[in-house]
Chains A and B, each alone.
Chain A
Amino acid sequence: MTDVAFIAAAYGAAVVGLVGYAVSLVQRDRQARARSAAIEHARDRIVEPVVPADAMPAEEGRLRAIER
């Protein structure tokens, strides 16, 4: 192996490692944010159920019970 090849290998390995890690960080960050948003959304739906405008009184009562 020539000197250039060794240098390329060393620098290449380091760059691949560092850039690869940074990219994985960005990906994991995106996944975590998506998951967090999904959890929040699901939680909000349970706390505040969507009541249709033309809901019948019986259904409304049942929905209120769930809320409580």
Chain B
Amino acid sequence: MSRASRLLTLSPPAWLAWGAVVVTLAIGLFGVPPDRTMGDVFRIIYIHVPIIWLGFLAFFVTMVSSAFYLRRAELRFDRIAAASAEIGLLFTGLTIVTGSIWGKATWGVWWTFDPRLTTTAILFVIYLGYVLLRASLVDRVRRARISAVLGIVGFADVPIVHFSVLWWSGLHQGPTVIQPGDPTIDDRFLAVLLANVVAFTLLYLWLLHRRVALEAIRDRAELLLEVGA
């Protein structure tokens, strides 16, 4: 097995991944004081930001794995790309939901065409397209190839989406509201936030490992059917 694919399928044990998430979230909920301006609602940051981070990481992994597939034509790279895209879609969806709740709490609205929310929504639909397209392709090799192309193009679109939305929303919105995740964050909060990011990264790796394994079993079954026929 190549070094690259071995690296991408390292998995922490379940107890570590889930345990870390539980512990760091608990610290965020009970172990630190509330924010001076936002109050307790600020604690949503400890779940919202790590989830955004993992969403982007997942799509990045899909892009890299897709590129590897196009170069090496090894199905394991396609499995990793597809698995990561599905997990990324989950995380992006959760980003929108938690962000929407936070938005209601701080701005009083469930949705606004804030650059970050809009970019995330567009990203969600792009990868929804990836998953749907993949589901419609029957031939294994063709599915891998087409998914790989979309996996690369989808992520390459991210900076474009970001800049156009930033420009467009700046044109239409009034004075900026205080964004969640203000960079001038207290050191203690930052430490807890980083701890949560690490914990969620472990969880991502565990989910990725399980999802790739599932894909491998399905591939084997398909192969058996082909050979037996």
By a beta-carbon cutoff of 8 Å, the part of chain A in contact with chain B is 1, 3-4, 6-7, 9-11, 13-14, 17-18, 21-22, 25-26, 28-29, 32-33, 35-36, 39-40, 42-43, 46
Q: Is B73 an interface residue (CB 8 A)?
A: no
Interface Cβ pair total, 8 Å cutoff: 82
| 18 CB < 8 A contacts A-B | A1-B104, A4-B40, A6-B41, A7-B40, A7-B43, A11-B29, A11-B47, A14-B97, A17-B90, A17-B97, A25-B207, A26-B210, A29-B214, A29-B217, A35-B221, A39-B224, A39-B225, A43-B224
Interface size on B, residues (CB 8 A): 35
A10 near B48 with CB under 8 A, answer yes
Query: Are B29 and A14 neighbours in the complex by a CB distance under 8 Å?
Result: no
Q: Does B98 contact A (CB under 8 A)?
A: yes
CB–CB B44/A40 < 8 A: no
Q: Tell me the bound Cα distance from A10 to B94 in angstroms.
A: 9
B142 close to chain A: CB less than 8 A:
no
* CB atoms of A39 and B41 under 8 A apart: no
Contact B207 A21 (CB under 8 A): yes
Instruction: Knowing A29-B214, A29-B217, A39-B221 are in contact, say whether A18-B101 is a contact too (CB < 8 A).
Output: no
Q: Which of B62-98 contact A (CB under 8 A)?
A: 87, 90, 93-94, 97-98
Contact across chains for B105 and A1 when beta carbons are under 8 A apart? yes
B102 contacts the other chain (Cβ, under 8 Å)? yes
Whether A13 contacts B41 in the complex (CB less than 8 A), given A25-B214, A29-B210, A39-B228, comes out as no
Query: Would you call B143 an interface residue if the criterion is a C-beta within 8 Å of the partner chain's C-beta atoms?
Result: no
Considering the complex, give the chain A residue whose CB is closest to the CB of B215.
Answer: A32
- The smallest beta-carbon distance between B41 and chain A, in angstroms, is 5
Q: Is B192 an interface residue (CB 8 A)?
A: no
